Amino acid sequence: MQAPGASAVNQVADRIREDVFQLPDGALLGSEEDLILRYNVSRPTLRQAAGLIIQEQLLLARRGVGGGFFVRRPDADVVTHIVSQYLRSRSVGIRQLADAVRPIRVEIARLAALSKDDALRTAMADFLAEDEPPGQDLEFQTFLQRERAFNHLLGDLSGSATLSLFLEILLDLSSMVHRESDMYRGHPERLSAYRRERLRLAQAVIDCDDELAVVAARRCAKMSHDWLMDGLAEVEKPNKSRRKTKE
């Protein structure tokens, strides 16, 4: 059972949240006095309710002349980090993550190839034009940055904010549980092989060839999955040896 005060705060918070969703990012929801009158509540109740929405990153409070409560949209990176921490606290393993990433990556690639957004497709072509040739040595951090940028662009082209967010969450958690660098660092042949397949994927998306995009995405996902499992197996070998020695 909720206390009456808590119930009133939650009810006002629900109303604020619905009003926020009707307005664009940065729009003025109203001053404190405006909202007290609009929702017919006391100042303490409004402040508590607004505080809840501010914690959700849907509202921004500004003091002084011209101040008030302004609409904001949650940052995807913050959402991703919070959810990935939640999954990590539930002891989600790297194998579960790898299995979950593969189908999402493939579906995002398929949707991206079917996209009708010419501007984003042009952006993908620009990405390819700026990318270094697959056979050329690439600094590892640069590779990671380019891979992140590619995933963001592919997600935008897919038109699925849900799948893109899921992928970002899983990749973020993967980097926490098992360092991404373990798959590629010291393996230039892997970098070259992966980038060649990523090039095929990008070209398939540009050409609106969803079948080829799916094939290339599956290959990219399989390579990443297999290398990740290889790295995990190497980590587990010493642990198994130590356990046998103790026994």
Assess whether 90 and 196 both reside in one domain: yes
Q: Based on the domain organization, do 45 and 88 belong to the same domain? A: no
Question: What does the pLDDT read at residue 37?
Answer: 96
For residue 181, name the pLDDT band (cuts at 50, 70, 90): very low
Name the residue range of residue 185's domain: 76-246
d(CA 6, CA 15): 14
Residue 18 backbone zone (phi > 0: left; psi -120 to 50: alpha; other: beta): alpha
Same structural domain for residues 148 and 62? no
Query: Which residue, of 28, 49, 71, is where some domain finishes?
Result: 71
Per-residue pLDDT, averaged over 160-173, amounts to: 81
Q: What is the CATH number of the domain that holds 167?
A: 1.20.120.530
The token duo for 48 is 């508590």
Backbone φ, ψ for residue 69 (5° rounding): -110, 125
Q: What local confidence, expressed as pLDDT, does residue 204 receive?
A: 95
Please give the mean pLDDT across all residues of the chain.
83
Residues 41 and 154 in one domain: no
Cα 136 from Cα 24, distance rounded (Å): 44
- Cβ atoms of 201 and 109 within 8 Å: the answer is yes
Amino acid found at 72? R
Residues 160 and 57 in one domain: no
Q: 22 and 91 share a domain?
A: no
CA distance 227 to 233: 10
Number of domains in the chain: 2
Supply the pLDDT for residue 108.
Answer: 95
- Across 182-191, 204-213, 214-223, 234-243, least confident range: 234-243
Same domain, 153 and 240: yes
Please give the average per-residue pLDDT across 130-156, as a whole number.
79
Residue 29 pLDDT class (50, 70, 90 cuts): very high
Is 122 or 246 the better-scoring residue by pLDDT?
122
The residue that leads in pLDDT, 238 or 156, is 156
Coil/strand/helix, residue 207 = coil
Identify whether residues 38 and 139 lie together within a single domain.
Answer: no
Give yes or no: residues 30 and 83 share one domain: no
Provide the token pair at 131: 């990318």
Residue range 70-82: mean pLDDT, rounded? 79
Please state, in angstroms and as integers, the Cα–Cα distance from residue 46 to each residue in 2, 33, 37, following that order: 18, 10, 10
pLDDT at residue 241 greater than cutoff 60: no
Question: Does residue 12 surpass a pLDDT of 60?
Answer: yes
Alpha helices in 24-139 (DSSP H): 32-39, 43-55, 76-89, 94-113, 118-130
% of the chain surpassing 70 pLDDT: 81
Domain boundary among 42, 71, 100: 71
CATH code of the domain in which 10 resides: 1.10.10.10
Residues 110 and 210 both lie in one domain: yes
Residues 45 and 59 in one domain: yes
- In a shared domain, residues 81 and 66: no
> What confidence score (pLDDT) does residue 2 get?
45
Maximum Cα–Cα distance across the chain: 73
Last-in-domain residue among 71, 89, 104: 71
